Structure 1
């Protein structure tokens, strides 16, 4: 009987040891899971970093991700410099030299036709073949695609303007009025071509600078957006909410 008790005691001890090991393994796995959750939480927070204008794609994808995006973000420096240099030359030609577009087009056509005409008639004297001028045909579908895209954009703009005019979105109304006022003020400072050139230069400089320093710009933009939202809330509470537009909305509805 004593021998049986001695044999059962080690068996019970080994069983208790196995149970304790399982409990220890479960505790360690649960602690490791909690540690992993703690490690993952900063990564989840990092993924929710504020981006300017709420974008979720890289800057290159925002601009379409094609050749125009490469030009605007200076992926191809030679091509970007050539495009910006051409725009600068056009601006200098029309604004500083005060050359006219119609005169420029006519002079270019005169020069090109003169060179081709003389080359075609003098090829037998200079022992060179006459220039091969390809036939140019403009396809109808290309114009239809451009017209369709332009029509969609114009219709969408008319829809937004109609909603604003009917008083359905006061915030959008204030934003459009402020934007038009800023454009009118800037337009009084310079000519239309100069304004287009300034916008063109900004498109070739601001995006690439933002892409290089977006980690610094985004937090500052977030603070500015929060402050602007706070100021708009104060304006809405003290002024905009007191404007009687409820009856007008009821009639329109």
Structure 2
């Protein structure tokens, strides 16, 4: 009886010692340990980390999810000057075209007029002060950047069209309804804002939401886990009441001659 009673106590002590080792390892303890203990601690720490819910099943840091490199640094405000500059330019464009009711063609023409007047005055004034003409750099749009941008946009559009085609041909009623609801929601948002305002909102969200999520990811993931559980519960009720009662015809392969 004594042996049977001591078995749970030994199991509890071993579990407590393992948790203590994991805690010491995570807090940077200086105590030495054997290679077997290190493997045990790493496996336990990995299993504990794997149990943590992450939004959209994320396994990488936010910086890696955003693609890493310069774009991720801009969205996460690692380079504050560039991030503030891009957001400031986007805000200026939105204010000019939306609040000041400016037009793109008018803005381009006015900018060219100002540039030509400044260059002409500098060149004309150089004749009176006996100085060489001012060196004006040539403005050339790089062809490689334009072609790569057009290629990237084309690839993304073709991929999106292929996905929509596959969804329409799969005859999966659940996925079909989800896509229709998503497109309907986007159409409602598009009817509330014009294209420029919608683009500006997307830029502002890209400069704020990733930074906010990286700072409060634990709290956001905990809330998202509860929300996802509730959505699954409501979807199960909707499936039981409506989707499961939709008759499904037999799928027959048709041979096209």
1:201 aligns with 2:172: no
Could you tell me how far apart the structure 1 residues matched to 2:157 and 2:201 are? 24
Which residue number in structure 2 is paired with residue 240 of structure 1?
243
Map 1:115-154; keep pairs closer than 5 Å: 115-138=118-141, 140-154=143-157
Q: CA deviation at 1:122?
A: 2.4
Which residue number in structure 1 is paired with residue 58 of structure 2?
55
Map 1:47-196; keep pairs closer than 5 Å: 47-48=49-50, 49-138=52-141, 140-196=143-199
Please list the CA deviations of residues 135-163 of structure 1 after superposition, one character each: whole Å capped at 9, or x if unmatched: 45555444443333222212211111112
Higher helix share: 1
Could you tell me how far apart the structure 2 residues matched to 1:152 and 1:203 are? 22
Q: CA deviation at 1:98?
A: 0.4
Kindly tell me: are residues 136 and 107 of structure 1, through their superposed partners in 2, closer, same or farther at Cα, counting changes over 3 Å?
Answer: closer
* Aligned residue pairs, count: 223
After TM superposition, the structure 1 stretch with the greater mean CA deviation from structure 2, 90-99 or 234-243, is 234-243
Which residue number in structure 2 is paired with residue 216 of structure 1?
219
Q: CA deviation at 1:230?
A: 2.3
Could you tell me how far apart the structure 2 residues matched to 1:140 and 1:90 are? 25
Q: CA deviation at 1:251?
A: 4.6
Could you tell me how far apart the structure 2 residues matched to 1:173 and 1:34 are? 50
Could you tell me how far apart the structure 1 residues matched to 2:252 and 2:133 are? 75
Gaps of 5+ in 2: 1-12, 23-40
TM-score by length of 1: 0.76
Kindly tell me: are residues 142 and 74 of structure 1, through their superposed partners in 2, closer, same or farther at Cα, counting changes over 3 Å?
Answer: closer
Could you tell me how far apart the structure 1 residues matched to 2:129 and 2:178 are? 66
After TM superposition, the structure 1 stretch with the greater mean CA deviation from structure 2, 89-98 or 227-236, is 227-236
TM-score by length of 2: 0.75
Alpha-carbon contact 1:164-1:170 (below 8 Å) kept: no
SS at match of 1:250: coil
Could you tell me how far apart the structure 1 residues matched to 2:143 and 2:195 are? 31
Kindly tell me: are residues 92 and 143 of structure 1, through their superposed partners in 2, closer, same or farther at Cα, counting changes over 3 Å?
Answer: closer
Which residue number in structure 2 is paired with residue 43 of structure 1?
45
Larger-Rg structure: 1
Please list the CA deviations of residues 69-95 of structure 1 after superposition, one character each: whole Å capped at 9, or x if unmatched: 122111122322222122111111111
SS at match of 2:77: coil
